[in-house]
Amino acid sequence: MAEIGKITKPEVKKYENKKKIYFIKNIYLPQNATDTYKSIFKRYWKEVEEHLGKLEAAGKVSKIFCESIYMTGEKSMQVLHNMNARLGEIVKKKIDKGALFLPLEDKDIFGAYIDWNNCLMIVQTSAVYDTVQKFFKEAIENRLQHITKMLQDNIADTEAVLLIMREEDRKALEFPEDMEVFPITPPALDDLEQYIRDAHSGKEYWRS
């Protein structure tokens, strides 16, 4: 897996004839986000856009895939904008330059995944939890298999695509050898993850 910070101009040709997946970790803006979180969040997406522009030296983005999207057309952009307006702006710019925004999910498979996940949040007994967890794991496997197939079926030789999803899910995917994955990890990502860790421990109240 290639790292964006390690790609130099002479190495661009190395990836020209490979299938390329530019991966962006999807970061959301909670409704109760603090001013500090909002500031880092804004910087994260700005840096993502800048890094993606540099990475496209190895191939312009021709297709875009995003988690939770199983619809097409204007509906897909509406859902994306509601999920993450800043990400929607970036995707819209790529579409205006000719990229296709394709559904990554299957409606029924994704629906089952969400339903079983929601069930786990309200389970009260261990026996029921174990049963629900079993079905949830099956739903996860079905979803990951579908996502993998969508990418394999829709990325042509030498093509570069944009993949936006949770990092945990991306790490669970198994990519064939002819696909090169480029994680986009700007400095703001480390800052945001550190801030979240501090927030969970209460350190944000005294951190200088």
Q: pLDDT tens-digit profile of 162-203?
A: 999 999 999 999 998 889 999 999 999 999 999 988 887 655
Q: What pLDDT does 207 receive?
A: 36
Asked whether the predicted pLDDT for residue 86 surpasses 90, the reply is yes
Whether 146 and 105 have beta carbons less than 8 Å apart is answered as yes
In whole angstroms, give the CA distance from residue 192 to residue 29: 11
Domain boundaries, the chain: 4-193
Q: What is the DSSP string of 131-148?
A: HHHHHHHHHHHHHHHHHH
C-alpha separations of 144 from 135, 139, 150 in Å: 14, 9, 10
Q: Are 162 and 65 in contact (CB under 8 A)?
A: yes
Across 46-62, b (16+ Cβ under 10 Å) vs e yields ebbbebbeebbebbebb
pLDDT over threshold 80, residue 12: no
